[in-house]
Amino acid sequence: MGLSLLVVVLHYRGMDDTLECLASLSRQTYPDIHTVVVDNGSGDNARIRLAEAHPWAEVLELKENRGWSGGNNAGITLAIERHYDVVCLLNNDTVVPEGVMARLMETIAFLGPCFLHPAIDSYGVDNEVQLDPAKPEPSDMQVTPVPGRDGLFEIDMTNGCCLLANVSVFGKIGLIDDRFFLLCEDTDIGKRASKAGYRRYCDASVRIEHKESRSFGGRRMPIKTYYGIRNILLFAEKHSWLSRDLLGFGRFVAWTLSGTAEAAGARHRSWWGLGFWFLSSNVFAQATRMGIRDYLLRRFGRINRRDEVKLRSYSGTA
């Protein structure tokens, strides 16, 4: 008897993306698959619209936006309660070609309890890859081919846009840390799984497409900078980076700030220049300061509403 699969699609005010994602899931050939859309407090009549377009998909409505971490935790909890064997956390801004889930389920049955990804391409962009161990991409990813299984690699990272895991893994390591809300939570749960002895893999023989950062409004947005800065500090704290290597951690923070400044269009040529940018009125610098402030004040979860409104009011330009 095959493994049962629950696909959790997290929806938050991206109805067109969710509908396209579900349309691709409707073409999957794996026999024991069930899909639940977790409506993360969208307030956009998701249940009615989804029932009209895809009545086979279950909708779980949450009263408030719990972020990637809390929304997916609701789906994982459902998988545990209903005794599914495998759960797939799937972003709603993905498109899954026919046959992908059947191949991934075959692979996870071969591997046993683990974390498993497909290769991930950027949606609608030729030759732009987000995850592919055969290249490798990201270039700093550590990759080990799995003998006897073409296209299968062990990797040292976790990508939450499409993540399959045996439900038993979460029984051992617990749910996703709600403090992250958005960003770094997949890296954290992957690190925790690795520490518990579970390996992470990518089956590059199958590929999906990902639109990336649609919930933020784009790849480079101030609100994304806020969560990225705050949460990388939390991640480093949780995994003892700061206490193990204070100097290395300091360098990492400095280079993170430098990369953020460059992405925001700053032309700093020295650490003094970086300091001036950090204290400037640039919206990305403001988002960076907010992230550091809230980390130090232990303000985790969703950013407070006033700051969220302020950061989301800006476009993605510096």
Kindly report, residue by residue over 137-177, the tens digit of the pLDDT.
Answer: 999 899 999 998 999 999 999 999 999 999 999 999 999 99
Residue finishing a domain among 210, 235, 268: 210
Residue 53 has pLDDT above 80, yes or no: yes
The number of domains in the chain is: 2
Residue 52 has pLDDT above 90, yes or no: yes
318 located within any domain: no
215 located within any domain: no
Same domain membership, residue 251 and residue 190: no
Same domain membership, residue 166 and residue 26: yes
pLDDT per residue as tens digits for the range 203-242: 999 999 999 755 544 456 889 989 999 999 999 888 876 5
Q: What is the pLDDT of residue 241?
A: 64
Q: What is the pLDDT of residue 251?
A: 64
Closest C-alpha to 311, from 220, 178, 207: 220
170 located within any domain: yes
Closest C-alpha to 284, from 267, 303, 263: 263
Same domain membership, residue 267 and residue 203: no
Same domain membership, residue 204 and residue 78: yes
Composition of the chain by helix, strand, coil, percent to 5: 40, 20, 40
194 located within any domain: yes
Same domain membership, residue 284 and residue 243: yes
Lowest average pLDDT, out of 3-7, 83-87, 259-263, goes to: 259-263
pLDDT average, residue stretch 5-16: 95
Specify the DSSP class assigned to residue 113. S
293 located within any domain: yes
Residue finishing a domain among 210, 232, 254: 210
Name the token pair of 181. 């809300």
Same domain membership, residue 166 and residue 41: yes
317 located within any domain: no
Residue 276 has pLDDT above 50, yes or no: yes
Determine the 3-state secondary structure of 105 from DSSP: helix
* Domain range enclosing 144: 5-210
Q: What is the pLDDT of residue 212?
A: 72
217 located within any domain: no
Residue 317 has pLDDT above 90, yes or no: no
- Give the separation between CA 14 and CA 19, rounded to whole angstroms: 9
Same domain membership, residue 187 and residue 287: no
30 located within any domain: yes
Same domain membership, residue 161 and residue 52: yes
Lowest average pLDDT, out of 71-80, 112-121, 125-134, 270-279, goes to: 270-279
